Amino acid sequence: MIQADSDSSRRVAYFYNRLIGKFHYGKEHPMKPKRIAMAHSLIVNFGLYRSLDVYLIREAQLEELKKFHDPEYVTYLSQYMSENKVNFVKEYCSTNNDGVIPENLLEEYKLITKWSQNKSSKNLNTEYKVGDSADNPTFQGLFSYCQFSAGASIDCAHTILTGQADIAINWSGGLHHAKKKEAAGFCYINDIVLCILELLRIYVRVLYVDIDCHHGDGVEEAFYLTNRVMTLSFHQYGDDFFPGTGQLNSVGLGVGRYYAVNVPLKPGISDGPYLELFKKVTSRVMETFRPDCVVIQCGADSLSLDRLGALNLSIKGHGQCITYMKQFGVPLILLGGGGYTIQNVSRCWAYETGICLGQNIDEPIPANDIYYQNYKGDYHLHFPIQENVENRNKSEDLNKIVSQVYDHLKNLEN
């Protein structure tokens, strides 16, 4: 049964495009865009879509991406796509057309081939970290994938700014590691930074909260020198865990000093201690920073049983972070992010879509869901809590983090 809470009146904008689930980083790669299609399917089959304002995701244009990213990096990513196209056209012609280029593709083919031949001999892939490691491979449609992810996060900002929504959701966003001119950690274009820049056109202060188990380094770096964006990341830290940044004492620089907040954690933290910490930190941040809008990166790799992360949250625990932020009554933007046990990612993001609407979904996966077989073995929406995982965060360590964060926040100007 779906239970509605008292404030189901909030308008929720939800961004989706069925093409998102078709992109593929490669067979061995842990990032699976299919999880977004799986989440969407649950959102539809649980009936949540009836209460959402559903928007079709569009592709962000090059000029929009250049608002944060280096123009040459954006051009490179877009042209790489064109190279893909040349290969596609060549393949198409050799198999279907005896090598003859169809007239409608000829002009484009010539232009792209010319660019490919003229491009400088230095290895652009290495410079921009695209395709030079297993983390950020090139794949068919890469640039469109980036354009969709960014287009939706930018439009989330627009629905909030224009008052069309109180909460906006883009599960295909949250790609928090991308830098100004560098891909990193499965991220190529930083949709979050683009979303926040859009919000800053009108709003004075924006709070960014990141519950992905990795440090939100790309977003932190982009706003490290400003006092208009506070970045707050909870993440696993230590033993060479990626990306290796996000120490408690990384607090920002210049006027941005104390506007970066980091909560580094050891493996195994469960709902109880995580939520206690989350509430203590976010309540003080909300009180001192008083943001006009909150952007939450909802990476689901902080869930128990994730393929990469080693935190131990349940879906309900992860969702309580959203419930807690919602009760401040400030406009919210929810973005996706990591999450590598894909059946749990889709469960989690469908559940959190319900939270935004004030609808608490709790039933088993509907049998008519097209991805039903992916949940084989456990058709419940919530997986059982892992009792046998050791929480390596002592309560003294967590208390120390809270008191350090409070000390830092005391330095904020009023």
- 242, 398 in Cβ contact below 8 A? no
- Strand-pair partners of 230: 207
Report what 135 binds from Zn ion, ligand V1S, Ca ion, none; CB cut-off 5-8 Å by kind: ligand V1S
Tell me how far apart the alpha carbons of residues 369 and 219 are, in angstroms, rounded to a whole number.
Answer: 35
Closer to ligand V1S by Cβ: residue 177 or 347: 177
Residue 267 binds ligand V1S, judged by CB under 6 A? no
Q: Which does 210 bind (CB under 5 to 8 A by kind): Zn ion, ligand V1S, Ca ion, none?
A: Ca ion
Measured CA distances, 360 to 3, 346, 357 (Å): 5, 15, 8
Tell me whether residue 20 or residue 286 sits nearer to ligand V1S (CB atom): 20
How many residues interact with Ca ion (rule CB under 5 A)? 4
Taking the complex as a whole, the smallest distance from the CB of residue 339 to ligand V1S amounts, in Å, to 7
Q: How far is the CB of 246 from Ca ion (least distance, A)?
A: 7
* Binding flags for ligand V1S, 291-310, as an x/- string (CB under 6 A): --------x-x------x--
Active-site residue, selected from the candidate residues 40, 176, 177, 235: 177
The correct pick among 337, 353, 369, 409 for binding ligand V1S (CB under 6 A) is: 337
- One-letter-per-residue 3-state SS of 185-248: CCECCCHHHHHHHHHCCCCCCEEEEECCCCCCHHHHHHCCCCCCEEEEEEEECCCCCCCCCCCC
Does position 64 interact with Zn ion (CB under 5 A)? The reply is no
How far apart (Å, rounded) are the C-alpha atoms in residues 125 and 249? 33
Report the distance separating Cα 402 and Cα 398, nearest Å.
Answer: 6
Tell me, residue by residue from 294 to 333, as one string, x for binding to Zn ion by CB under 5 A and - for no binding.
Answer: -----x-x--------------------------------
* C-beta neighbour count of 268 within 10 angstroms: 17
Structure tokens at 184: 């990193």
30 binds, among Zn ion, Ca ion, ligand V1S, none (CB under 5 to 8 A by kind): ligand V1S
Interface mask toward Ca ion for 196-235; x: CB under 5 A? --------------x-x--------------------x-x
Residues 183-242 that bind ligand V1S (CB under 6 A): 185-187, 212, 214, 242
Site for Zn ion in 167-226 (CB under 5 A): 212, 214
| Residue pair 164/213 in contact by the 8 Å Cβ criterion | no
**Is there a contact between 43 and 136 (Cβ–Cβ < 8 Å)?**
no
| 294-313 binders of Ca ion (CB under 5 A) | none
- Amino acid (1-letter code) at residue 213: C
- CA-CA distance, 266 to 270, in Å (whole number)? 11
Q: How many residues lie near ligand V1S (CB under 6 A)?
A: 20
Per rule CB under 6 A, is residue 134 in the interface with ligand V1S? yes
Cα 21 to Cα 1, 251, 258, 345, 391, distances in angstroms: 28, 37, 39, 14, 34
Q: Confirm whether 215 is a catalytic residue.
A: no
Please, are residues 262 and 211 in contact by the beta-carbon 8 Å criterion? no
Nearest approach, Cβ of residue 39 and ligand V1S (Å): 15
Residues marked as catalytic = 177
Q: Which residues bind ligand V1S (CB under 6 A)?
A: 28-30, 133-135, 175-177, 185-187, 212, 214, 242, 299, 301, 308, 337-338
